[in-house]
Chain A
Amino acid sequence: NAGVMQNPRHLVRRRGQEARLRCSPMKGHSHVYWYRQLPEEGLKFMVYLQKENIIDESGMPKERFSAEFPKEGPSILRIQQVVRGDSAAYFCASSPSQGNEQFFGPGTRLTVL
Chain B
Amino acid sequence: RKEVEQDPGPFNVPEGATVAFNCTYSNSASQSFFWYRQDCRKEPKLLMSVYSSGNEDGRFTAQLNRASQYISLLIRDSKLSDSATYLCVVNLPNQGGKLIFGQGTELSVKP
Residues of A within 8 A of B (CB): 31, 33, 35, 37, 41-45, 48, 55-56, 58-59, 89, 91, 93, 95, 98-107
Chain B residues within 8 Å of A89, by CB = 41
Binds A, one of B61-69, B71-79, B92-100: B92-100
Which single residue of chain B is at the shortest CB-CB distance from A100? B97
Question: Assuming A93-B99, A107-B43, what are 16 further A-B pairs, CB within 8 angstroms?
Answer: A31-B97, A33-B97, A33-B98, A42-B101, A42-B102, A43-B99, A45-B100, A48-B96, A48-B98, A59-B98, A91-B43, A95-B97, A99-B97, A100-B97, A101-B49, A102-B99
Interface centre among B41, B43, B87 (most CB of A within 10 A): B43
Minimal beta-carbon separation of B31 from chain A (angstroms): 7
Docked-complex contact A43 and B98, CB < 8 angstroms: no
Which single residue of chain B is at the shortest CB-CB distance from A97? B97
Which single residue of chain A is at the shortest CB-CB distance from B32? A99
Chain A residues within 8 Å of B99, by CB = 33, 35, 43, 45, 93, 102
Interface residues of chain B: helix, strand, loop or mixed (majority) = loop
The verdict on A48 contacting B97 (CB below 8 Å), with A104-B45, A105-B43, A107-B43 known, is yes
Interface residues of chain A: helix, strand, loop or mixed (majority) = strand
Minimal beta-carbon separation of A77 from chain B (angstroms): 15
Query: What are 28 A-to-B residue pairs whose CB atoms are below 8 Å?
Result: A31-B97, A33-B99, A41-B103, A42-B103, A42-B104, A43-B99, A45-B98, A45-B99, A45-B100, A48-B96, A48-B98, A56-B95, A56-B96, A89-B41, A91-B43, A91-B44, A95-B97, A98-B97, A99-B32, A99-B97, A101-B34, A101-B46, A101-B49, A102-B97, A103-B46, A104-B43, A104-B44, A106-B42
With the chains together, A89 CA to B41 CA distance in Å? 8
8 Å CB contact of A43 from B32, B44, B46 = B44
Minimal beta-carbon separation of B94 from chain A (angstroms): 10
